[in-house]
């Protein structure tokens, strides 16, 4: 199996400049590898650094040291040292991000929000619309809402629009930040099916799931945010 994502000796410390420069080490020497078709779940107590690690993988946080190798269009890119335009290209083509929160854009309909990543890749409108509709239907978003802007949707409806948008492109790597938080059992199962389908087509998945049932269904391995990867706090 091909390795899609390789993290080597990654360390991250937050420096709180507005609080006397307090240093808050989050993890050090984190290393993991995710192959095509595998799902690795980040695991550890609240505050152990799961979100910080996941955000670093997407290039949202800059680690202090270490490498994040992503297989991107036939070669490996290190997300730690990559230039901004390379990170944008990785995000457009290779690494998808699904969080529990939807960034609502005023006046853009749910259907258009979901289609957008496909249109940006040059997929034609009819095909994009068909794929987006299938996902919204799968996630039980009522059809009467598809042509409305999601700002007035319930929390769960917004969450499902966001998940549809995150799964609309067949990204080789998927980063999932608690995508099932606050969904009911039917919709959790719908998301689990999407993750299983992504794995079956060869996606490498890294996720955070607080729901134990979901974790057990999708995880091939747990990556434990152990005390060794979380050094003592120092001033």
Q: Which is nearer to ligand ATP, 52 or 94 (CB)?
A: 52
- 123 half-sphere exposure, CB direction, 13 A CA radius: 19
State in angstroms the smallest separation of the CB of 107 from ligand ATP: 31
Q: Which residue ranges make up the site for ligand ATP (CB under 6 A)?
A: 14, 24, 26, 44, 46-52
Cβ atoms of residues 214 and 43 within 8 Å: no
State in angstroms the smallest separation of the CB of 221 from ligand ATP: 17
Whole-number Å distance between alpha carbons of 37 and 220:
9
Q: How far apart are the first and last CA of the chain?
A: 44
Q: What is the CA radius of gyration of the chain?
A: 18
Q: Which is nearer to ligand ATP, 44 or 59 (CB)?
A: 44
In this structure, what DSSP letter does residue 234 have? B
State in angstroms the smallest separation of the CB of 15 from ligand ATP: 8
Q: Which is nearer to ligand ATP, 47 or 142 (CB)?
A: 47
Closest CA relative to residue 217, chosen from 41, 45, 99: 41
State in angstroms the smallest separation of the CB of 45 from ligand ATP: 7
State in angstroms the smallest separation of the CB of 123 from ligand ATP: 33
Q: Which is nearer to ligand ATP, 142 or 227 (CB)?
A: 227
How many other β-carbons are positioned within 10 Å of the β-carbon of residue 200? 9
Q: Which is nearer to ligand ATP, 25 or 37 (CB)?
A: 25
Whole-number Å distance between alpha carbons of 175 and 206:
5
Sole residue written with tokens 């959790």: 188
């Amino acid at each position: 199996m091909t390795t899609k994502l390789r993290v080597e000796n990654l360390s991250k410390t937050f420096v709180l400049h507005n609080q006397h420069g307090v240093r808050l080490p989050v993890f050090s020497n984190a290393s993991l590898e995710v192959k095509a078709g595998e799902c690795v779940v980040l695991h550890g107590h609240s505050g152990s650094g799961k979100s910080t690690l996941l955000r670093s993988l997407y290039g949202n946080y800059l680690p202090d040291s270490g490498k994040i190798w992503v297989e991107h269009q036939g070669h490996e890119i290190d997300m730690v040292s990559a230039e901004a335009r390379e990170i944008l290209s990785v995000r457009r083509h290779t690494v998808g991000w699904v969080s529990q929160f939807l960034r609502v854009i005023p006046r853009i309909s749910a259907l258009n929000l979901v289609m957008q990543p496909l249109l940006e890749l040059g997929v034609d409108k009819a095909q994009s619309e068909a794929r987006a509709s299938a996902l919204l239907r799968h996630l039980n978003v009522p059809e009467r809402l598809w042509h409305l802007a999601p700002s007035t949707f319930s929390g769960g409806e917004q969450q499902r629009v966001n998940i549809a948008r995150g799964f609309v492109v067949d990204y080789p790597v998927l980063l999932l930040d608690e995508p099932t938080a606050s969904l009911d059992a039917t919709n959790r199962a719908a998301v689990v099916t999407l993750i299983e389908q992504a794995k079956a087509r060869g996606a490498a998945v890294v996720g955070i799931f607080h729901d134990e049932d979901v974790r057990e269904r999708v995880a091939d391995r747990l990556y434990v945010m152990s005390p060794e990867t979380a050094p003592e706090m120092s001033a």
